[in-house]
Amino acid sequence: MNTVRRNIVTALLALPLAMTVTAQAATWPDRPITMIVPFPPGGPTDLVARLMASQLSQQLGQTVVVENKAGANATIGMTAAAKAKPDGYTILYNTSSISLAPNLYTKLALNPEKDFDAVSSTAVIPLVLLTHPSVPVNTVKEFIDYARKNPGKLSYGSAGAGNVTHLGAFLFNQSTGIDAQHIPYRGSAPAMTDLVGGQVQFMTNTLNDSLPFISENRVKALAVTSKERSATLPDVPTAAEEVIPGFEMGAWQGIVVPAGTPPAIIDKLNAEIRTALKTDTMRKQLEAQGAQALGSSPAEYDAYIRSETKRWGDVIRAAGVKLD
């Protein structure tokens, strides 16, 4: 069989599959969608994910069901999503863990860069530097000066080793010359409980998770890690403007799907996500939680995930963190 005939036969054989995929994309979604959230219900990520799921349900005319699959720094939920059928009916509400995990584990059951197709970023929640009221400081500059004068005497909590709340504090300490002891917890709730109780002296926690404690004056908020001040805490300066020019980080989030999901479905989902993020309802609810709406093209989000994987790889190696 010559080359021309072989190419024609190949194209004809592929045609039914292409037509099937196109038809599926055209009717998507015609049944409920499962949104896997790799964290426990009620946590800072889950709260934002449920806002998005509710808004997408209204726009798509199909229920987006949140399924929490927590554990192992989000890798249990990520692995479940990666193994799902790539038909647009299983999506993963991911966080920066998608970039942290490949650097934290030498034995990982998935490869995020190969096992997922990026859809869109959704939001970023700044971290906020918090101290217990007993720490005799009122500004971030005073805190740095106090910590430097007391090397090794302060301890900071986190939601777990390798969590963004751990690495955020590590990066801040490294950038400012602070020597402090890390105390990892199983989640942000017990870490905040011990911060409020004075068992640890400071923490960099997600803003939405910290707001109730800040408003009740149970902790002091000294700085946020976003590029600009948070509308939720307008009187709290950024770390960049006060002590570390250019310092910016946060608990960013987005949506990815199993690799091989039809591009037409990815494009449609992307358009719906970006529309959702522009609604007054989403913006107001995100702002109330201290989160900032994002939104991007699939290619932009893919590039961002890759860049963050490299960035946090450098930080994780400097911190000497390995989880297996």
pLDDT digits (tens, 9 = 90+) for 168-183: 999 999 999 999 999 9
- Residues 102, 136 share a domain: no
pLDDT of residue 14: 57
pLDDT of residue 9: 59
Between 162 and 20, the more confident residue is 162
Residue 103 lies in a domain: yes
Q: In whole numbers, what is the pLDDT of the chain averaged over residues?
A: 92
Please list, in sequence order, all residues whose beta carbon lies within 8 angstroms of the beta carbon of residue 232, skipping any fewer than 6 positions away: 207, 211, 287, 288, 289, 290
- Residues 149, 292 share a domain: no
**For residues 67-83, average pLDDT:** 94
Residue 177 lies in a domain: yes
Residue 266 lies in a domain: yes
The domain total for the chain is 2
- Residues 285, 191 share a domain: no
Residue 171 lies in a domain: yes
Between 221 and 1, the more confident residue is 221
- Residues 256, 144 share a domain: no
Do 74 and 36 meet the contact criterion of CB atoms below 8 Å apart? no
pLDDT of residue 40: 87
Residue 12 lies in a domain: yes
What pTM was computed for the model? 0.86
Q: H/E element holding 131?
A: strand 116-131
Residue 324 lies in a domain: no
Domain boundary at 216, 242, 268, which? Answer: 242
- Residues 281, 263 share a domain: yes
- Residues 135, 115 share a domain: no
The long-range contacts involving 57-63, CB below 8 angstroms and separated by at least 24 positions, are: 59/272, 59/275, 59/276, 60/29, 60/33, 60/272, 62/29, 62/30, 62/31, 62/32, 62/33, 63/32, 63/33
- Residues 275, 133 share a domain: no
pLDDT of residue 187: 85
Q: Cα separations (Å) of 176 from 61, 241, 267, 285?
A: 50, 14, 43, 34
pLDDT tens per residue across span 273-319? 999 999 999 999 998 888 999 999 999 999 999 999 999 998 888 88
Residue 247 lies in a domain: no
Note down the domain range covering 143: 126-242
Domain boundary at 196, 216, 242, which? Answer: 242
The CATH number linked to 36 is 3.40.190.150
163 pLDDT exceeds 70? yes
Would the CA dihedral through 208, 305, 176, 246 be positive or negative? negative
Per-residue confidence band for 55, with pLDDT thresholds at 50, 70 and 90: very high
Domain boundary at 203, 220, 242, which? Answer: 242
Of all residues in the chain, the percent with pLDDT exceeding 70 is: 93
pLDDT of residue 20: 54
pLDDT of residue 13: 66
- Residues 74, 131 share a domain: no
